[in-house]
Amino acid sequence: MRVVLLGGPGAGKGTQAAFITGRYGIPQISTGDMLRAAIRSGSELGAGARILMDAGRLVPDEIIVGLVEERIAADDCANGFLLDGFPRTIPQAEVMRARGIRIDAVVEITVPDENVIERMGGRRVHPGSGRTYHARFNPPVTEGLDDVTGEPLVQRDDDRESTVRHRLEIYREQTAPIIEYYEQWEKDDPCSAPRVSRVDGLGMLDDVRERVFAALDPG
């Protein structure tokens, strides 16, 4: 199973990715991890990427897709792979298509903005340990204090409403064209295109998981 998994901040993509990789016995691949591994390996593509990154420049799509090709040729990708949030742009998707990198399914986990803001805005963290709470879903025994140490909990900047709304806006701007690209491809050439599904990310964890599996295993 070769999957592209998309989902905005707070959609639960990481949790569902773990379910998918466990069910199909495939690795989860993110471009960040892939770049770091390629640089460590000293491969030609990795060396080229390092030069660009050290100079503060963006790594071109051709190199990124080349790294994807290198990575999915590894033995652990024999049964497929899960691409985490990649491709991020239409040019990246076009390069993958031109190079014949087959994708079986594109799945986007969707959650309404207000639910995402509630999920992320209610999170509180104990800085010393990383223990995480939620004002509504997993509150501490004493409001605002860590259960173990009694020390104050904090809200991370990434979880503030203004930040979350900005991240959601950026996600939509970047991802909507990708979804539309794959949907048009599926309409024009369903035999070669990946299946495209939008999965409701609200509800119990197991229910969302079953929706994702149903999208990956239609019929």
Position 146 scores a pLDDT of 97
Verify whether residue 167 is a known catalytic residue.
yes
Question: Global pTM?
Answer: 0.84
What digits encode the pLDDT tens for the residues 92-106?
A: 899 999 999 999 999
Please measure the distance between the N-terminal and C-terminal CA atoms of the chain and give it in whole angstroms.
15
Considering 13, 119, 124, 209, which one is annotated as catalytic?
Answer: 13
Verify whether residue 88 is a known catalytic residue.
yes
Considering 23, 36, 50, 88, which one is annotated as catalytic?
Answer: 88
Render 122-167 in DSSP notation, one character per residue. Answer: TEEE-TTT--EEETTTB--SSTTB-TTT-PBPB--GGGSHHHHHHH
Verify whether residue 2 is a known catalytic residue.
no
Q: What residues does each domain of the chain span?
A: 2-26+79-83+100-216, 28-76
More confident residue, 218 or 105: 105
Position 219 scores a pLDDT of 62
Considering 40, 99, 156, 172, which one is annotated as catalytic?
Answer: 156
What digits encode the pLDDT tens for the residues 172-213?
A: 888 889 999 999 999 999 999 999 999 999 999 999 999 999
Cβ pair 36, 2 in contact under 8 A:
no
What is the CATH number that goes with domain 2-26+79-83+100-216?
Answer: 3.40.50.300
Verify whether residue 71 is a known catalytic residue.
no
- CA proximity to 171, closest of 106, 81, 62, 89: 89
Which residues face 5 on adjacent strands? 84, 107
Considering 50, 160, 165, 167, which one is annotated as catalytic?
Answer: 167
What digits encode the pLDDT tens for the residues 39-71?
A: 888 778 788 888 877 777 777 888 888 888 888
Angle of helix 205-216 relative to helix 13-24, nearest 10 degrees, comes to 50
